[in-house]
Amino acid sequence: MHFDRPLIRATLVRRYKRFLADVTLEDGRAVTAHCANPGAMLGVATPGATVWLEPNDDPKRKLKYSWKLIELPGGHMAGIDTSVPNRVVGEALRTGAVATVAAYSTIRAEVKYAERSRVDFHLSKTGLPDCYLEVKNVHLRRQGDWAEFPDCVTVRGAKHLGDLSAMVSLGHRAVMLYLVQRTDCTALRLAADLDPGYARAAAAASAAGVEMLCYTTRISTQGVWMDRALPLDLAA
């Protein structure tokens, strides 16, 4: 997934009110950027860090910059925009890059299902059971090379796991795909201390037959792309 416009470098001053970030551009101007991330952003919102913004000239948008990336120690990058993973996974599905579901030929996004829910992707093909695939953005890292999910309590995330389990009980396939939007992790585990309810829901969904996948990403100032599969540890 290529970014729509070339990114520009800035320095993070602070992130606040969930969706706002004050930054300083290279020319010294102080501006406010949109932060498309409702999570806690632990470890990826450090004041003084180098960040990358996507500018826009849309007269309907009050904020003229969107925060996309943050530079991490060791030359690594993390993506902070939670809308990016669905675009990345959508591209990967259309090119057959997700091996376990590559046989499906019809891919639809944001399909209504379960009880007042929408699944990120619905996959179908004659002769195969329908497949319901949900995507979660991951950018928390606290120890070693472990990526962790979630970074705060997510009742909505637990509900999604229940919805996927219900699809399995009806004879369909269901997949939870965690996309690690940072380049310094080699495996994923659940942050059960931050949200024990989600950890329990994930264990129950896996036991019910929901397939759990995790992929890392390649990230640069040009874009974000799905990379290799990572192992998961679902033990809470």
Same domain, 42 and 151: no
pLDDT band at 234 (very low <50, low <70, confident <90, very high): confident
Question: Is 111 domain-assigned?
Answer: yes
Question: Is 60 domain-assigned?
Answer: yes
Handedness of CA 179, 183, 186, 192 (dihedral sign): negative
Task: Give the pLDDT confidence of 183-232 residue by residue, as tens digits.
Answer: 999 999 999 999 999 999 999 999 999 999 999 999 999 999 999 999 99
pLDDT band at 116 (very low <50, low <70, confident <90, very high): confident
Strands 223-229 and 106-113: unpaired
Question: Is 1 domain-assigned?
Answer: no
* Final residue of a structural domain among 62, 79, 96: 79
What mean pLDDT is reported for the chain?
96
Same domain, 120 and 24: no
* Final residue of a structural domain among 53, 79, 105: 79
Structural contact between residues 219 and 79, judged by C-beta atoms closer than 8 angstroms: yes
- Residues 6+ away with beta carbon under 8 Å from 34: 19, 20, 21, 61, 63, 65, 66, 67
Question: Is 45 domain-assigned?
Answer: yes
Residue 74: give its domain's CATH number.
2.40.50.580
Helix (H) or strand (E) holding 189: strand 187-190
Same domain, 36 and 152: no
- pLDDT for position 57: 87
* Final residue of a structural domain among 79, 107, 124: 79
Same domain, 32 and 58: yes
Structural domain harbouring 55? 8-79
Residue 156: give its domain's CATH number.
3.40.1350.60
Same domain, 225 and 204: yes
Task: Give the pLDDT confidence of 151-168 residue by residue, as tens digits.
Answer: 999 999 999 999 999 999
Count of domains observed in the chain: 2
Same domain, 52 and 154: no
Task: Give the pLDDT confidence of 38-67 residue by residue, as tens digits.
Answer: 999 999 999 999 999 999 988 888 999 999
Whole-Å CA distances, 58 to 5, 23, 43, 63, 186 = 13, 20, 31, 9, 38
Question: Is 67 domain-assigned?
Answer: yes
Same domain, 75 and 91: no
Asked whether the predicted pLDDT for residue 147 surpasses 60, the reply is yes
Same domain, 119 and 56: no
- pLDDT for position 16: 95
Question: Is 113 domain-assigned?
Answer: yes
The token duo for 222 is 């040009």
pLDDT band at 142 (very low <50, low <70, confident <90, very high): very high
Same domain, 58 and 138: no
Same domain, 131 and 174: yes
Same domain, 65 and 89: no
- pLDDT for position 74: 94
The token duo for 85 is 């993973």
Structural contact between residues 183 and 217, judged by C-beta atoms closer than 8 angstroms: yes
Question: Is 3 domain-assigned?
Answer: no
Whole-model pTM: value is 0.94
- pLDDT for position 236: 56
Same domain, 207 and 224: yes
Residue 40, Cβ density class (10 Å: 0-12 exposed, 13-18 middle, ≥19 buried): middle
